[in-house]
Amino acid sequence: MHTGPLGTLERFKGVGNCPAGYAARLRETRELFVHLCFCLLFGVVGVKNRITMTYLTVPIAAKDIESAKEQIKAAQKGGAEMIELRVDYLDQLNASMVRELISETRNIFGRKKLPIIVTCRSVRHGGEIAYPDQLRVNVLVGALQVGAEFIDLEYESFLSTENKEKIIRALSQSSKGRLILSAHNFNGKFDDMRKLHRRIMTVYPAAIPKLVYKANHINDCFEAFDLLHSTSGERIIFCMGQAGLVSRIIAKKLGAMVTFASLDEKTATAPGQLTIDRLKKLYRFGDINSETELYGVIAFPAAHSLSPAIHNACFGKARLNKLYLPLLVEGGKAEFGLFMNNILNRGWLNFRGFSVTIPHKQNALNFVGKNQGFVEPLAKKIGAVNTILCSRAGTLKAYNTDYAGALDAITSKLCITRNDFKDMPIAVIGAGGVSRALVAGLSDAGADLKIYNRTVEKARKLASEFGCSYAPLEDLENIEANLVINCTSIGMHPDIDATPLPKELLKKDMAVFDTVYNPSKTLLLQQAKQKRAKTVDGVSMFVNQACEQFKLFTGTEADVKLMSRVLKENL
């Protein structure tokens, strides 16, 4: 939906009698008219130094010139495409320090002449040191005089006639200098971001608008995506905070002029800023373009998910124009539904598939069912899905690759087929989500299952649903099984010295599968090996379920070795 200037004109049709409201609308109409005239003018004659790519920009935030130089060298090594000199971090700032820093940056980058933004942020907008307005403006004017490509000033500060006149004069004397007019909201969304965007473009139409706000939920990001989608030319629009992280990555797909990345976590200048290394290596920033298809893991929390690392590595290896994102969807059914509808209403975002994990596996099943999508029959029985496919036309398909991944891990490690599960006595420890997927898959394959759980009532419920037996954890001392599967979190990092089954109960003719994958060699598996029992680790289950997802996402086989390697490297 296009809600740009034309959308605003539509609203004017209902102008009321209220004089104050009328005056405000009249002012808006005037602004809009001026804005359109300037757009036309600049569209025809063009402006200096127009940019079309998305620059991976590293902010340099240091207290003194020497430390700034170190940071600039690190940014050059890291592959920065633009430098932002955040001179509000410099102690005892003056215009000559900024000139020196610009010249040092030029020296460090040598022949590779990369553009420089000079920013002297006010504290109200996230600046580090409270320098007076006059000094901040003088510093920016000085930066233009020595050839900085961009200066960034808050739109709010530019409204002062004195500041405006000084900046415009300096811009007119600079052959290439451009002005970024920025607005920030560190608490949440802007009241009316489109209006703010229009105002910025009206007050100085040659400006590059920068609108940045904190996303308190991933659903807050869609307003920023919409503004990027419905505007063109140079603009910088993204969201801060963990919930806004995706907006920094897909800024390139949506054609923003800049995305900011820090050298490391310590030097980040805004909440949610990624490091240049993660952006380039993990999210393959260099390969993103407007055609890139999007995938992601819907989770809460999402930051520590290993899925982006393994899927992006495989997309990269197969040279697929696909990108896999961590999608932090906080909340329950309502927030999940809103997120999915936000995606489905914006086909241009090109989302094609999702992994789904805690706490949304059931929400995903319900959402796809309600939207007349296809749900794999066993996933219905399990009551959870972990994979959603989304077609270009917006139709949905849902699967559960957890059970298939687990069964494949067991059959391949034990050199058996799924038919061999028939009547096999299997002990499943745990009665949570993973246990449920395994119990459904194994009972479907005809196994003779007994579920052991700390909370016996949960074991009883699960057992009655799938026609198996159950017992409390204490009964494990009488365990009789060819295969034991740990589906609890016992033994998982950081409690790596714990095991759900004491060593004396393990036997040589027993195969042991631990679904815990961090660490990959749990105490349970180490002790089973000491007893010469066959073992299957959680890494192989994780890799197998991810391979199944990859096949669903791409129609091709994943590189299993690469997935295992990346997973182990990231654990």
Residue 113 annotated as catalytic: no
AA identity, residue 438: L
AA identity, residue 229: H
CA distance 83 to 498: 49
* CB 300 within 8 Å of CB 329: yes
Neighbours of 34 (CB within 10 A): 15
**Rounded least distance, CB 501 to ligand NAP, Å:** 11
> 344 exposed, middle or buried (CB, 10 Å; 0-12, 13-18, 19+)?
middle
AA identity, residue 332: G
* Catalytic-labelled residue, pool 210, 361, 381, 450: 361
Among residues 187, 186, 167, which one has the least CA distance to residue 177?
A: 167
Smaller CB distance to ligand NAP: residue 400 or 435?
A: 435
Neighbours of 504 (CB within 10 A): 9
Which residues have CB under 8 Å from 372's CB, separation 6+?
A: none
In the bound state, the residue with its beta carbon closest to ligand NAP is 432
Among residues 233, 215, 236, which one has the least CA distance to residue 342?
A: 215
What are 322's strand-pairing partners? 293
Which residues have CB under 8 Å from 47's CB, separation 6+?
A: 178, 206
In three-state form (DSSP H/G/I as H, E/B as E, the rest C), the secondary structure along 397-436 is EEECHHHHHHHHHHHHHHCCCHHHHCCCEEEEECCCHHHH
> How far, CA to CA in Å, does 13 sit from each of 26, 192, 265?
12, 19, 50
- Cα Rg of the chain, angstroms: 29
* Binding region for ligand NAP (CB under 6 A): 430-435, 453-455, 458, 487-490, 492, 515-517, 538, 541-542, 545
CA distance 428 to 410: 13
Neighbours of 11 (CB within 10 A): 11
CA distance 81 to 401: 40
Catalytic residues: 361
